[in-house]
Amino acid sequence: METLTLIEKGRDIVARRVRPKELIEALPLEAFDYACAMTRSKPWFQKGNWTIRHGLYEDNFPDQTGVFLILSKPHWKESLGEKQGIHVGIWVDSTGSYKGFLNTCMHVFKMPNSEVGKIHQREIGRPFLEKHGAEIASWPHYRVSKMAKTLFIAKLPLPETKAEIEGLILQQIERMDRFGNTIDEILARLYLTRE
């Protein structure tokens, strides 16, 4: 039996369009590393007080496999493990219905109680979708969600090369800047009306 080199195995996998767990995680993890570094250097990211982090699902959610990225702001009170606050999630899953896609969504989980009282998901989601819903729905592969906790979701076909994946991740991140401004305006209005 002939032994294939790692490069030949990779070419064989790509030729057969088979993407095992290792390939699904390896290419996107490197692409997410690059996208996070590039995003941190952007003026809009620094000026807008954004935060970004990424990693493997297994390190945070033992029952899932894949790579994730979280884009948020400190005052959005995001805490992924506790499913609270607001964040944009971008991920590649190596199992399940999201396998083989670059997925993007905005979650509005319950806001933790603050000094001004509890803020409900729909108080954020409704004005956000009134302003951006039609625009988001017009983007290929995006759909606006009627669920209070997920404002929109996209399943974008996952490109074959690391450079293409990096470009697609960066494109999704760049779209989020103006959404951040809208969320900030909504939160400011809600906090002002409750003081």
The predicted-structure confidence for 18-32, as pLDDT tens digits, reads as follows 444 555 555 667 888
7 pLDDT more than 50: no
Contact of 119 with 138, CB cutoff 8 Å: no
pLDDT over 80 (residue 122): yes
* Burial label, 177 (beta-carbon count in 10 A; 0-12, 13-18, 19+): middle
Q: Which of 70, 154, 157, 141 is nearest to 105 (CA)?
A: 154
Q: What is the distance between the alpha carbons of residues 190 and 84, in angstroms, rounded to a whole number?
A: 17
- Return the higher-pLDDT residue of 21 and 134: 134
Q: Does the structure show a pLDDT above 70 at 109?
A: yes
pLDDT in tens, 96-105: 666 778 889 8
**Tokens, residue 97:** 């219905």
For all residues of the chain together, what is the average pLDDT? 78
Give dist(CA 80, CA 184) in Å, integer. 19
Percent of the chain topping pLDDT 90: 30
Query: Which helix (H) or strand (E) is 56 found in, with range?
Result: strand 51-56
pLDDT score recorded for residue 120: 75
SS3 of residue 152 by DSSP: strand
Q: Is residue 1 very low, low, confident or very high in pLDDT (cuts 50, 70, 90)?
A: very low
At 59 the pLDDT is: 62
Averaged pLDDT, 62-90: 80
pLDDT of 60 reads: 62
In percent, how much of the chain has pLDDT > 70? 70
